[in-house]
Structure 1
Amino acid sequence: PVAGGPDGVDLADLRAGVRRARAEGLRPRGCYVMPDFANPSGVSMDTAQRRRLLELAAEEDLLLIEDNPYGLFPADGTDRRPTLKALDTARRVVYLGSFAKTVLPGARVGYVVADQRVGEADGTVVPFADHLAKIKSMVTVNTSPISQAVIGGALLAHDCSLVAANVRERAAYARNLRHLVDGLARRFPAGGPVSWTVPAGGFFVVVSVPFAVDDALLHRSAREYGVLWTPMAHFYDAGTPVDALRLSVSAVTPESIDLGLDRLAALVTDTMAAGVTPECQGSGTVRVS
C-alpha cells in the first residue's frame, strides 16, 4: 500500500515504499494508479503531478498500471486531462480501459494498451500485449463474441469515438454528481460535524461523519433506513473502522438521490443523537487509486 492525498499518489511515500521493499529483498515492478476521479476518493491528479509520477517511475524502474474507467466523465466546465499513457514517452505505462461505464456494464468487456517490448525464449521481441492476450485466453477461454459485437456496434455507430458515444452519459453523471453535492449541503450545515468531498467528475463522494463507520452500521442502515453505501474502511489496509463512507451516483435518478440522502441524513442524525463514540478514528494507508 502507498499513501494518497488530495493530489493523488504520495510520491515520497511511493519512492520510500519501493526502496524499503528492495531493502527487504523484494522486487517491486509496478504501481497501480487511477489518476482520474479515483475510486473511492474521487481525487484526480493534475498534469504536473502526472509528469512527476512518470519521472519517478523511470528513476525507480517501475511500470505504472493506469486504470481509467472514469476519465471520460469530468463534471460541468471541467476539461479532460491527458492520461498518463498520453504523456508516456518511455513505455512506462500499461493502460487499462473499460467499456462497463461507457457502453454496457453487463458486456464485461475491457481493453489494455501494453506496447512494452518483451523478449521471448527464442530471442524474438514481441509486444507485452501479446503475452497478456495469451494469459487472458487461458484464464477466461476468451470473451463472449456477442458482448464484443455489442461494444463494436456502439463504437461503429459513433465513428469509434468513446467521447462521442458518451455525450448523454457525461451529462447525466455530471447532473447526478452536482445533485448529490447540493443535496448534502441542504441536509448538513456548513462547518458542522459532517463534511464531504466535491470531486471534479466521476461518480464518488466521500462523506466524513463524527463516528466510526463499519459493516454493522451498514447493516443497520440497510435494515432500518433502507439506504446502502460503502464504508471507507473497505478501501484501507488496517481493517479498522473509519469515520467516513462512500456514496456512488452512477446509475440513479435525481429522485433516487434525494430519497437516499433523506434516509442517510436520518441515519446520521439518529446515530449522533444516540451519542455514539467512535471506538477508533480511522487511520492507515489508503490503497493507491
Structure 2
Amino acid sequence: MENVIKCKHCSSLNFCKKGFRKTDYRGKIQKYFCNDCKRFFTNDDGFYRMRNNPNIITMSIDMYISNLSSRKMRNQLKRHLSHKISHVSVLDWVRRCTLKVHKFIDKQGYNLGNSFYADETMINREGKLDRFWCCLDWDTRLITGFHYSLSANPIEAQEFLKKSIRKGKPRYIQTDAGVFYPRAFRKLFYSNKIGGLTIEHKIQNVRKTKIHNYRIETVFMKIKDRVLDFRGLKALWSAPILMTAIVIQHNFIENHSTTDEVPSERAGVNLELGDNRWLDLIRLSNI
C-alpha cells in the first residue's frame, strides 16, 4: 500500500515541493505548495502534528502494551535516549493510535476457522468489576471479537456475539455455562427454517466436566497479567480503548507462542509489515 500525497485543504494532486519545516525531534519535514488553492501543507503520514519522533512514539506504545507502565517508559526514554516526555503523553499516544489502527484493521478480510471459543472475565477498574468479553478462533488464534461492558446479561452477551462473527461465521462457538449465553444464542442464531441454531452452541460446564474452557482462558491469563499494571484503566471512557490496544497487540504485533506466527497473518491478512509493526499499521491506517 502506497501513501498517496494530496493537499490536506482541497485534496488536489496538483502541488510542488516547497522547502522544509524544521522540528526539534522529527528533523526536517517536507513542505508542499498546492497550485490550486495556493496553500502550504505537509503530508500526513499518521503522525501529523505530533511533536515526537514516530519511532519513539511506536516504541512507547509497544512497550506500554507489553507490560511497562507509562512512568517506567518515560524513565527509560530519559535514561537511555535523553528524551524527556510526560508519562501522560505515553497514554495519549496509545489511545490516539489505537483508535486509528482499530478502524483500519476492522475493514480487512479474514480467513477464519470453524471453531470459536468465547468467554467473559472481570476487569477491576478503580474497584468496580467491569466485564471484558472475548472470542478466539482456535485455528488462527485470532481474537475475532471483544466487548467491554459494566455487567453480564443476555443483552450484553448478544452484543458480544454480534461482534464475534463480523469477521467470519464459525460452525460452533463454545462458551462456559453462563446463564446469559443460551438466550443470546437463541435470539441471534435461531432459524425457523431449520428449527434450530444456525451456529451451534457448545457449553463447557466446569462443574460437571471438571474441564475449563481452557482455549480462551489462556488468552485471559495474558490479558489479566497486563491489566494489573494499566494505570490508565481508571476512567470508563479510557478502559475500552486500552483493552482494544491489547487485542491489536495480540492479533497483529506479537507471534503466538504455540504457532510462532502472528494470528492475523495466519488468518490471511498479509499487510507486509516490517519489524516496527505499530509504525507500519499507523501509516497504513492513514491511507
TM-score with structure 1 setting the length: 0.25
